Amino acid sequence: MPAVMEQELDGQDFKRALVTAKAQMEEHIDEVNSLNVFPVPDGDTGINMFMTMASAVKAVEKSEDLSVAVIAASAARGALMGARGNSGIILSQILRGMADSMKEKKTISSRDLAQALHSASEKAYKTVREPVEGTILTAIRAASEAASEAAGKGASFSRTVASVVSRVRTTVKKTPDMLPVLKEAGVVDAGAKGLYYFFKGMENAICRKPAQPGFGKTAHASKDDSPSAIKEILLP
């Protein structure tokens, strides 16, 4: 798969990034499932996030539109229609937040990506009635902050994405310190880890980097789920 453009992504570039993100998430389904202890230890965060992403990709895979706004909107709709579980619903809202920020944009720069991730973070937090840190919510906020910092320094698109991946990876490793149930189980948060693979897959497409082996079990091995204390999910 060819690398996408360095400074701007058009619709087809963005589609390739989504396709690669799906592939990366698929490769790590079992690993993310195995981390699933919060909020309910039902071992399905990995498959739920993957199936949601697969629905997003299916909605755009045949599109040849060059507008990133069109591709992002279609992917967000697909994700919402195919969202599974709490983690999948939150992922669909992350994609929706990104799409909302990309409206009417034919291409996006690193600054546009930073704005899109900020919108995604806000949308994700609003999705959950009782947000809890140390979850996928913390990870998307970290992604937004990293993109904003990198783009603010004039970083290229690829460097901005690399900064996002690095920050999310670090944040995932810190989730057990934010959520006692994770530390007790000896795992990182499953939803945060799934989101890491989403961004890692995008980076693979944008920067042409090889797939990366998983990480995430700490002291003892167990599970960890995705979101936050998701007592109620609010769909728009």
Q: What is the mean pLDDT of the chain?
A: 87
Q: Domains in the chain, please, with CATH?
A: 11-207 (1.25.40.340)
Structure pTM? 0.85
pLDDT computed for residue 110 by the predictor: 95
Buried-exposed string 197-233: b where 16+ CB fall within 10 A, e elsewhere? bbbbbbbbbbbebeebebebbbeeebbbbbbbebeeb
Each residue's pLDDT tens digit, 175-192: 999 999 999 999 999 999
Token digits for 119? Answer: 């919108």
Residues 127/128/131/132 CA torsion (nearest 10 deg): -110
Each residue's pLDDT tens digit, 115-165: 999 999 999 999 999 999 999 999 999 999 999 999 999 999 999 999 999
State yes or no: pLDDT of 219 exceeds 80: no
